[in-house]
A = this chain, B = another copy of it.
Amino acid sequence: MPRPVPAATAALRVLRFLSGQPVPVSAVRIAEALELPRSSAYHLLTAMADEDFVVHYPDDRTWGMGIAAWEVGHGFARQEPLARLARVPLARLVDRVGQSAHLVVLHGTEVLYVIEERAPGRPPLVTDVGVRLPAHLTASGRAILASLPGPQVTALYPDKASFTSRTGSGPRSPTELRRLLATTRQRGYATEDGEVTAGFASVAAPIEAGTIHASVAVTWQSRGDVGDLVEPVRQTAAEITRRLRH
């Protein structure tokens, strides 16, 4: 088992902490949040600023994220085959159905929005790229969970305490989830209406390629039939699956 590298770990935790803040924060705030010695925090932040991962705003006495964090994040998108292969099919989906679409991956019990393709005339979505949401509340997450083996889903959601709610709806127990996922599995797609954001609905289909846990979804302001959207979404997910299998 390799040994710890405490300063490296601290740097990465600083990045993660800062990326969760809406505004730049003070060094002391960072030190407290990560339980770092105050003077060490200054040395660390300065080293990170020297590499452009952090910026110091002396007038405000705050520290914020630097441009290198942004660049490195996009390096991930270029390296990750899923993100690379999915971009064009997703663009085609949007052009075809005229609604915004996204590519989502599962991480633990949450989904992470990897690509968002906005449709013309539609506002940017709450499900902004980089955002995490509880998997069981989103169509995207449900589509992925439905494609997982039962024991794996059980390991992720062992009891009622595993369930969070955003708008008061959505499954609240393993039994409810299992029933919901059985329906999803049978249909081959998942839906969600108002469980993430009131007034918005989604339909999602899983990408089924070995160890990749991801899905394609379309989101729109809910007021009507999902029927027209299911086939394009499923075809897009199938196309991405095919591309991944080469």
A67 with B121: in contact, given A9-B47, A21-B79, A22-B78 (CB under 8 Å)?
Answer: no
The reply to whether B67 and A69 contact each other, CB–CB distance below 8 Å, is no
Task: Verify if A24 is at the interface (C-beta below 8 Å from B).
Answer: yes
**Number of chain A residues whose Cβ lies closer than 8 Å to a Cβ of chain B:** 68
Tell yes or no: A117 within 8 A of B by CB: yes
Query: B2, B66, B77: which contacts A42 (Cβ < 8 A)?
Result: B2
B94 touches A18 (CB 8 A): no
B-chain residues with CB within 8 Å of residue A51 when the two chains form the complex: 9, 12-13, 16
> Which residues of chain A in 19-47 are interfacial with respect to chain B, using CB atoms and an 8 Å cutoff?
19-24, 42-44, 46-47
Identity of the chain B residue whose Cβ is nearest the Cβ of A43 in the assembled complex: B2
A50-71 contact mask (Cβ, 8 Å, vs B): 1 or 0? 1101000000000011111111
Contact A117 B114 (CB under 8 A): no
| Of listed A69, A72, A77, A117, residue having the most chain B CB within 10 A | A72
List the 3 closest pairs (A to B, CB-CB), nearest first.
A73-B73, A19-B75, A74-B130
**30 A-B contacts (beta carbon < 8 Å):** A2-B43, A2-B46, A3-B43, A4-B43, A5-B7, A7-B7, A8-B8, A8-B44, A9-B51, A11-B11, A16-B68, A16-B71, A18-B72, A19-B71, A19-B74, A19-B79, A23-B79, A65-B72, A65-B79, A69-B72, A69-B76, A70-B77, A70-B112, A71-B130, A73-B73, A73-B74, A74-B128, A74-B131, A88-B123, A95-B120
